[in-house]
Amino acid sequence: MVEALLDAAKALVQIVTPLNLAVVSFIEAIFFPIPPDVLLIPLVLLRPAEGLVFALIAAICSVLGAVCGYALGKRAGRPVLNRVISPQRFAQAEWLLRRYDVWAIAVAGFTPVPYKVFAIASGVFAIDLWRFVVVSLISRGTRFVLIALLLVYFGPQMADFIQEHFGWLTVGIMAAIILGTWLYRGLVRSRRAV
């Protein structure tokens, strides 16, 4: 059954349409190994005037899929997560979610870290659903809007850059956000102490 679904989804990836972008974005957040970027990039290049619309489609459908993954994790619990990832990754995901909560979800939603694992794990470890949805919308929306804007403003040559370096770019941006937040909190604490 799963192999048939994967074969059907791979066939969808070959057809670049907004509907297929929505489908791939949805199922990628649950189990599918191909990221929505594979359809988002050619769609934005073909129709740049609609780039932000495509980015929003990818973000919203990805979060809707992640909510299904969350529900799957909540209902099926640890056994379903054990089927998706190794025991070491399971322990790592649990530690990250318990220690960093929504920050772990934000990083997974924005960077190449497997978002589907954190969606399912968020259900397994009972992360607050509304916080999960809000952070997911922000991180996935920012990721896909950033891709669309880069392609709209810089054109096809940016597609190669995104495919080769986007992972490092997102990790760098996320690190800068975390560092900025940490510095800001430190500044606020030091002002309160004075």
Count the Cβ atoms, other than its own, within 10 Å of residue 27. 24
Neighbours of 29 (CB within 10 A): 28
CA atoms within a 13 Å half-sphere pointing along the CA-CB vector of 163: 11
Q: State residue 1's pLDDT score.
A: 45
Structure tokens that stand for 71 in this block: 């529900």
| Residues in the chain, pLDDT under 50 | 1-2, 5-6, 9
Express each pLDDT in 100-140 by its tens digit: 888 889 888 887 778 888 899 899 888 999 999 999 999 99
The per-residue pLDDT for 2 is 44
Tokens for 113? 């870290």
Residue 59 near residue 137, CB atoms below 8 Å = yes
Cβ atoms of residues 115 and 23 within 8 Å: no
pLDDT at 28: 92
Write the DSSP symbol of residue 156.
T
Domain count, the chain: 1
CB 80 within 8 A of CB 73: yes
Q: Which domain holds residue 23?
A: 2-193
126 in Cβ contact with 97 (< 8 Å): no
For residue 139, which of 113, 105, 168, 181 has the smallest C-alpha distance?
Answer: 105
Q: How many other β-carbons are positioned within 10 Å of the β-carbon of residue 180? A: 10
Q: Where are the alpha helices (DSSP H) in 29-156?
A: 37-46, 51-76, 78-84, 87-100, 102-110, 115-124, 129-154
